[in-house]
């Protein structure tokens, strides 16, 4: 059977590529710190020695459209193009060509249908920044075959948080049962609290830093009960109109499993949003844990959960315990 | 509001650099041309017969009125990315990075703390 050697859940800030490849004098002041953290995070994937990447993301109205919008979709192709015109225009992300893994795509599709996840399938899927951004950050050589999975975080009504978690659990079962001697890593990207096209966008911090604090604790401790008790579509909207991308991070926690602590956790307050980088090693070995420890030392990250009581969030707490952004509203 | 049709306009303009440039410099003329050439398009041989804008939608799109579009349920992501394409460069050149995005936020500031208009169709 295949071995799931790593699960990575991260944000996918599309400004990273431009911020870290521009001429030195044009880089924003936060670029060096950001790059150091991302390159350290990359080592947590390298240590997993993957042969195939299962990639979870969400098309941002680049290819999928309201005339026929799927809740969940899998690509089944030999090759995937990446980066649409308006992503090159807006973010400066270059074009890519990624190899696919037809065998795992087909197996994943069939097995998920057998587990009552009725996926749409595409044989002409072009990858957008939700998947090419993590390639840029953690596998910039783009040298591994991918199996892309898209979820709907944009077109209401959306599947429930519970359904995203259950899909993660199902994907885990499928990877574990895949008849292959290959090593598989699962990489998914989403958001913490985020506002796009609304009054809270591009503020000094993300729209709800204390949601971010809770979210990182819940994810890094595998606390599905707390998430399902506290996170609804309405509560996510209250933390920022694009916060529903959190559900893709929840999906990745589902792949890692309940009550499983992450082996690497990092976060970075990046003006209008908070970046988060998390890795689990489901079949951990010493070399992976050593790599996580080295990466954590470089990035000043954690080799275990980060709790909402971490001093990093003290500045956002008011006497009422509400985030500064919401308290001002 | 025929939110679907408004979103279709935002989506199809945003994905094509020639339509973006046209909409920036001649919004009203571009809107009329778009309705003839793109609005009913399903595929190269099939057309929708029933989609149309309300007068208020047509006027909002013809005047680049992204505040009205937000307030009437245009999808927030499409509403943001297309108007970034139209205005980001000149705002950034004049007032620095993210100047347009921050002005957009400020113009929508009266929605802070309120439930936003639904983007559901």
Domains of chain B: 3-111 (1.10.700)
pLDDT score of A328 more than 80: no
CA neighbor of A326 nearest in space, from A193, A233, A149:
A193
Strand order in the sheet with A120-122: A120-122, A72-75, A146-151, A52-57, A183-190, A3-11, A273-280, A264-270
Q: Find the range with the poorest average confidence among A54-58, A110-114, A325-329, B26-30.
A: A325-329
N-to-C CA span, chain A: 53
pLDDT score of A323 more than 60: no
Chain B contact present for A123, CB below 8 A: no
Q: Which residue is listed with tokens 């500064």?
A: A324
pLDDT of residue A271: 79
- What mean pLDDT is reported for chain B? 96
CA A286 to chain CA centroid, Å, is 25
User: What is d(CA A242, CA A126) in angstroms, rounded to the nearest whole number?
Assistant: 22
pLDDT class for A311, splitting at 50, 70, 90?
confident
Global pTM? 0.96
- Which of B81, B93, B111 should one mutate to test binding to chain A, selecting the residue with the greatest count of A CBs within 10 A? B81
User: What is d(CA B53, CA A291) in angstroms, rounded to the nearest whole number?
Assistant: 57
CB-CB contact of A103 with A180 (8 Å): yes
A217-245 tens-digit pLDDT = 999 999 999 999 999 999 999 999 999 99
CB-CB contact of B17 with A89 (8 Å): yes
pLDDT class for B3, splitting at 50, 70, 90?
very high
Peptide bond into B97 cis (omega under 30): no
Q: At what angle do helices B55-62 and B27-37 cross, to 10 degrees?
A: 130
A138-184 tens-digit pLDDT = 999 999 999 999 999 999 999 999 999 999 999 999 999 999 999 99
pLDDT class for A272, splitting at 50, 70, 90?
confident
A271's tokens = 């003006």
Say which of B8, B15, B112 has its CB closest to residue A84.
Answer: B15
pLDDT score of A253 more than 80: yes
The secondary structure of residue A272, as a DSSP letter, is T
pLDDT of residue B105: 98
- Interchain CB distance below 8 Å, A85 and B77: no
- Which of B108, B114, B115, B118 should one mutate to test binding to chain A, selecting the residue with the greatest count of A CBs within 10 A? B108
What average pLDDT score do residues A108-123 get?
Answer: 98
CB-CB contact of A76 with A102 (8 Å): yes
Q: Find the range with the poorest average confidence among A40-49, A65-74, A307-316, B17-26.
A: A307-316
B8's tokens = 């279709």
N-to-C CA span, chain B: 10
């Amino acid at each position: 059977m295949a071995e799931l050697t790593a699960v990575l859940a991260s944000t996918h800030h599309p400004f990273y590529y431009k911020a870290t490849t521009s001429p030195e004098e044009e880089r924003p002041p936060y670029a060096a710190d950001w790059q150091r953290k991302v390159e350290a995070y990359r080592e947590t994937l390298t240590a997993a020695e993957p042969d195939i990447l299962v990639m979870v993301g969400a098309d941002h109205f680049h290819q999928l459209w309201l005339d026929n919008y799927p809740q969940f979709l899998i690509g089944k192709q030999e090759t995937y193009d990446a980066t649409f015109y308006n992503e090159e225009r807006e973010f400066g992300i270059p074009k890519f060509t990624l190899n696919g893994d037809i065998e795992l795509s087909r197996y994943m599709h069939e097995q998920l249908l057998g587990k009552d996840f009725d996926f749409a399938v595409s044989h002409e899927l072009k990858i957008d920044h939700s998947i090419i951004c993590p390639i840029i950050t953690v596998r910039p050589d783009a040298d591994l075959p991918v199996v892309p999975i898209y979820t709907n975080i944009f077109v209401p009504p959306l599947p429930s948080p519970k359904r995203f978690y259950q899909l993660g659990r199902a994907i885990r079962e499928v990877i574990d049962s895949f008849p292959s001697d290959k090593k598989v890593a699962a990489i998914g990207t989403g958001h913490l609290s985020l506002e796009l096209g609304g009054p809270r966008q591009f503020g000094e911090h993300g729209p709800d830093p204390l949601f971010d604090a809770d979210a990182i604790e819940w994810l890094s401790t595998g606390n599905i009960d707390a998430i399902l008790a506290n996170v609804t579509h309405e509560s996510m909207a209250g933390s920022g109109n694009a916060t529903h991308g959190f559900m893709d991070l929840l999906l990745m926690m589902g792949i890692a499993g309940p009550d499983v602590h992450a082996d690497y956790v990092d976060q970075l307050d990046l003006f209008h949003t908070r970046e988060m980088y998390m890795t689990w090693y489901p079949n951990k070995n010493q070399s992976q844990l050593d790599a996580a420890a080295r990466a954590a030392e470089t990035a000043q990250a954690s080799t275990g959960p980060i709790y909402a009581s971490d001093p990093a969030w003290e500045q956002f707490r008011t006497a009422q315990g509400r985030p500064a952004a919401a308290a001002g509203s | 509001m025929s939110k679907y049709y408004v979103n279709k306009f935002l989506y199809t303009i945003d994905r094509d650099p020639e339509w973006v440039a046209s909409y920036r410099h001649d919004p009203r003329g571009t809107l009329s041309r778009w309705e003839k050439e793109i609005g009913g398009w399903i595929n190269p041989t099939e057309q929708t017969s029933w989609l149309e804008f309300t007068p208020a939608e047509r006027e909002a799109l013809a005047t680049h009125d992204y505040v009205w579009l937000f307030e009437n349920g245009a999808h927030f992501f499409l509403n943001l990315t297309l108007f970034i394409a139209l205005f980001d460069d000149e705002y950034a050149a004049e007032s620095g990075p993210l100047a347009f995005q921050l002005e957009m936020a400020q113009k929508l500031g009266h929605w802070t703390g309120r439930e936003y208009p639904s983007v559901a169709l």
